[in-house]
Chains A and B, each alone.
Chain A
Amino acid sequence: MELQFLNNLSLGFSVAFQLWNLFYCLVGVVLGTLIGVLPGIGSVATIAMLLPVTFNLPPTTSLIMLAGIYYGAQYGGSTTSILVNIPGEATSVMTCIDGYQMARQGRAGSALATSAIASFFAGTVATVLLAMFAPPLAEVALKFGPVEYFSLMVFGLVAAVVLAHGSLIKAIAMVFLGLLFGLVGTDVNSGVMRFTFGIFELADGISFVGLAMGVFGVAEIITNLELKDARDVFTNKVGNLMPSKEDFRRMWLPILRGTALGSALGILPGGGALLGSFGAYALEKKVSKYRYELGKGAIEGVAAPESANNAAAQTSFIPMLTLGIPSNAVMALMIGALMIQGIAPGPLVMTQRPELFWGLIASMWIGNLMLVVLNLPMIGIWVKLLTVPYRVLYPSILVFMAIGAYSLSNAPLDVAMMAAFGILGYFFCKLECEPAPMILGFILGPMMEENLRRAMVMSSGNPVVLLTSPISAGFLLAGAILLGIVLAPSIRKKREEVFVEE
């Protein structure tokens, strides 16, 4: 067992240390930091934008780069939170509170260093967790038949909806919309073209890249353009980067707590980095010895959420890599990237493509190291970037998205579809309908239909089979309990409170 573990890791590092993989890992983390620093463009939109670029890369390399963007963005987001009180990413909202206060007290340097140390520690632990827990989980998943898979997907969608913020019922409706969008195209069983309206290009289904870039990227730009471009930037002196002895003494417990909570929340469907950082801050408020200093520049308020968001960003890969189930929009994009490469996501990835699985894990650790080494000295450059006005930024983003959409099949229709989904995404935003559950549904739609079909063929059309298989019944029961808990009035109120801060 242990030997196996070491063998796996050495395979992973030998893949991750290949020159091209190192290069694209670097590209990923630098890009991630960049978009993490810049408010108004998130990691989901960026990853969607870069999906077309990955067509020409080997699968391992492209996943390494895309993953780098995701956890790199967590680092970048904290930099601007601390220095200018602007969360570059939603996940670093909590870091603003104490990080910015520290900066105002002239301790920006130690806040930045704390955030880097916390992120690196959490990233390392989460990588080890991923390496340890993914193989046994995949082994369990290998025993799943269509019945179990269908119920697992139901559970995954329920959990994602429950943990997402905003209205529960709208999120459920968005899942259905995503599932339906996912069914557009040729039905694999009968060969019938569904909902294509004679448009030849739709035979392969709605392009995932176009959909994601539209509802996240284009819609984001349109929404941002409505706001006045009022971003005043002033740079505080960064000061000494080295935290004091006292700082070190106070930060290690919050880092441990943040890492533990973040790792746990990351695995849950619908969890991920956002929930991790909110949870960790709330936990510190309850248990920390220095909880009364929180909000006034306490180092715990930086260490805990920063370690939690990074840990969660990494452990959210576990369900994606082992079960093929996306737990958040970023993971849905990763699955999209795998499918573009012709790899069916699921438990078989680990045994059939060990170099991909272990290479990705090893690269995460290397990427985290790169982030620490690169970012602390480069903070000045990142802050300068904030002075780039949005009127310059958004046409540039549009250029990349437009080229990306066109390059999908060298057809203008893909660009037009992306634009149309941009309008749809804009209305979603106005009506407060979260697009993330729709993206999850879109990815899972065809898989759910296929598994349900097979399950019904095997049971000669008896739906009770979903309840007689113990594993399947377990998933459905867990989903029902989750829904029940959330719908209970007291919890519902609490849930709204938690997410209102965002």
Chain B
Amino acid sequence: MKIKSPKDFWAGLMFIAFGLFFLFFALDYKMGSLTRMGPAYFPTVLSSLMVAFGCVILFQSFVLKGERIPAMTFRPVFIIVLSLILFGYLIAPIGLALALVFLVIFSSFAGHEIKIKEVVILSVGMTILSLLVFVKGLGLPFPIWPMFLN
């Protein structure tokens, strides 16, 4: 059997995987009856249906011709995701101001070209703007400066 539509093939597998995942963990909960549905009832029905649809999509991928999956470049994915996660965990120890500078500078490396001067100006500008809008203006309770300064 040859895969005729790679997009559908992987999409089908993804839905089956998600479906089995929810189906498996729904086993831990009470099923109940149709009259008194337990916490497992609705998720079980939904994930079974999703597995079924996933199978149809998977089957289709061997029959109907479809497009290839476009090329993926993992640099932007990796840098953007990592910069966001680190930002989240950096706020408490180093404060919002420095975390923002870090976020702007680090995420800039995901692009095609980096102009150092521009990035520095942008990081400072965005930090000041965010402090004004979110902390001063909207009064969100962020730690602004690193912990050891307080």
On A, residues with C-beta under 8 Å from B are: 53, 56, 167, 169-170, 172-173, 176-177, 179-180, 183, 187, 189-190, 192, 194-195, 218, 221-222, 225-226, 228-229, 390-392, 394-396, 398-403, 405-407, 410-416, 418-420, 422-423, 426-427, 430-433, 448-449, 452-453, 456-457, 460-461, 463
Contacts and interface: CB of A to CB of B under 8 A. Distances in A.
Contact of B107 (A172, A398, A431): A398
A222 B80 contact: yes
Nearest to B67: A432
5 contacts: A189-B39, A396-B104, A419-B80, A430-B69, A430-B72
Contacts, number: 195
A187 B39 contact: yes
A432 B11 CA distance: 8
Given A173-B50, A173-B57, A395-B103, A430 B70 contact: yes
A218 B88 contact: no
A190 B38 contact: yes
Given A169-B57, A192-B39, A431 B10 contact: yes
Nearest to B87: A402
B103 A398 contact: yes
Given A169-B57, A180-B43, A412-B89, A394 B29 contact: no
A169 B56 contact: yes
Interface in B54-68: 54, 56-57, 60, 67
Given A395-B103, A401-B84, A432-B7, 8 more contacts: A56-B138, A190-B30, A194-B26, A194-B39, A228-B112, A391-B111, A398-B80, A412-B88
B37 interface: yes
A395 B85 CA distance: 14
A423 B77 CA distance: 7
Interface in B83-125: 83-85, 87-89, 91-92, 96, 100, 103-104, 107-108, 110-115, 118-119, 122-123
Interface residues of B, number: 72
B81 A423 contact: yes
B18 A402 contact: no
A222 B111 contact: no
A221 B79 CA distance: 12
Contact of A431 (B26, B50, B69, B114): B69
Given A176-B49, A456-B37, A194 B7 contact: no
Contacts of A418: 84
B147 to A, nearest CB: 15
Given A396-B126, A423-B77, A449-B42, A402 B29 contact: no
Contacts of A396: 104, 122, 126
Nearest to B121: A392
A176 B45 CA distance: 10
A406 B46 contact: no
Contacts of B33: 461
B73 A226 contact: yes
Contact of B91 (A194, A412, A448): A412
Contacts of B47: 176, 180
A412 B103 contact: no
A28 to B, nearest CB: 16
A221 B80 contact: yes
A172 B88 contact: no
Contacts of B145: none
Nearest to B104: A395
Contacts of A460: 35
Given A169-B57, A396-B126, A419-B85, A407 B134 contact: yes
B111 to A, nearest CB: 4
A56 B138 CA distance: 8
A400 B133 CA distance: 10
Nearest to B138: A56
Nearest to B69: A430
B32 to A, nearest CB: 9
Given A190-B39, A399-B130, A413-B88, A176 B46 contact: yes
Contact of A53 (B8, B39, B138): B138
B88 A399 contact: no
Given A173-B54, A416-B88, A432-B7, A410 B141 contact: yes
In order of increasing CB-CB distance, the 4 nearest A-B pairs are A415-B88, A461-B35, A412-B88, A461-B34
